[in-house]
Structure 1
């Protein structure tokens, strides 16, 4: 089972994904794509908020880059929660287009092959202005495209906004890819 949870900043997408994981009643593997930055107190507070919400019995894997390999190593009896794709993408954003396409293909293949139930959290970044700088446009375009590709293979896609989770697979129609 592949689930994609997407939404804006502070919309509740991580909390919704965590609730889905808890409801599974399986052994949870929480894949954190963010790295600690001791010189950035605001970032550390964000990480602490996420860490404080997680039950003590969840396994936490810190995977800033090798996400495909981590998914390949998850046991079938587990429930994998990846939070979040945007942070992971930021960690590999400097890749040239050819390398990025290979990385993206490997991730999509690993998601499809993952025997565990998996929920991926992704930020919605394309609802604002076009970034004025190339790296910002690259981030927005790559994350938008990656989220769409995962949405196509996902069994369920939720949009979280204003504290509500909306099941897009129930009310929407999947676009051809």
Structure 2
């Protein structure tokens, strides 16, 4: 298993920039795995995607992977650093999945992470620090992403929290919880 890093935090905290910094210093070929689908009619969304693209070095390969994340990770070579941005967007792509299909998808992802020889850096949003969403789809998203982040963090060598313009290494500051009991 390669080195696995999780970078989490709230919106606009700098988590993607921190993950990009880590990838730049990995001494490996960087592959940026974008989980967002492009929506040409959504000008604001396109500007967000463009801002991310403009920050990245030109020699990074970018893959658009809104769905097949496990297969993309499994295909990576050991001399690669995969930067997956972001898990929240990936989770949102599967909100229509039923519980059994979703649980299988997560089990596949977590198993794949443990088998990949490449380094992997995952970016994930923290969504559970505010109000409970008023709509079922919002609660489902929050619960699925929160559970995925917790399960993935157990497998990570390092977990960072980026908030308030600061980076905290949670792996050195905290104590990990045991795996969740379902």
TM-score, normalised relative to structure 2: 0.96
Measured against aligned partners, the alpha-carbon deviations of 1:119-173 in whole angstroms (never above 9, x if no partner) come to 0000000001001111100000000000000011101000000111100001101
**RMSD of the alignment, in Å?**
0.6
For 2:91 and 2:175, the matched residues in 1 are separated by: 27
For the residues of structure 1 that align with 2:74 and 2:28, how far apart are their CA atoms?
Answer: 18
Q: Does 1:2 align with 2:27?
A: no
**Which 5+ residue runs of structure 1 have no aligned equivalent?**
none
Which residue of structure 1 aligns with residue 43 of structure 2?
A: 41
Where do 1:83-98 residues align within 5 Å? Answer: 83-98=85-100
Cα deviation code 1:96-127 (max 9, x no counterpart): 00000000000111111111010000000000
Determine the C-alpha separation between the residues in 1 that align with 2:176 and 2:155: 10
Name 2:18's counterpart in structure 1.
Answer: 16
Q: Secondary structure at the match of 2:25?
A: helix
Distance 1:97 1:116 in 2: 30
> Which whole-Å CA distance do the structure 1 matches of 2:158 and 2:173 have between them?
11
Correspondence for 2:28: 26
Q: Which residue of 2 aligns with 1:165?
A: 167
121, 130, 133: which one pairs with 2:132? 130
The separation in 1 between residues aligned to 2:178 and 2:111, in whole angstroms, is 19
Query: Structure 1 stretches (4+) deviating beyond 4 angstroms?
Result: none
- CA shift, 1:36, in A, is 1.0
Residue pairs, 1:57-72, within 5 angstroms: 57-72=59-74
- For structure 2, the residue ranges without an aligned partner over 5 or more in a row are none
Secondary structure of the corresponding residue to residue 160 of structure 2? strand
Report what 1:103 is aligned to.
Answer: 105
Residue 43 (structure 1) shift: 0.5
Q: What is the alpha-carbon distance in structure 2 between the residues aligned to residue 111 and residue 40 of structure 1?
A: 33
Distance of 1:49 and 1:25 partners within structure 2: 24
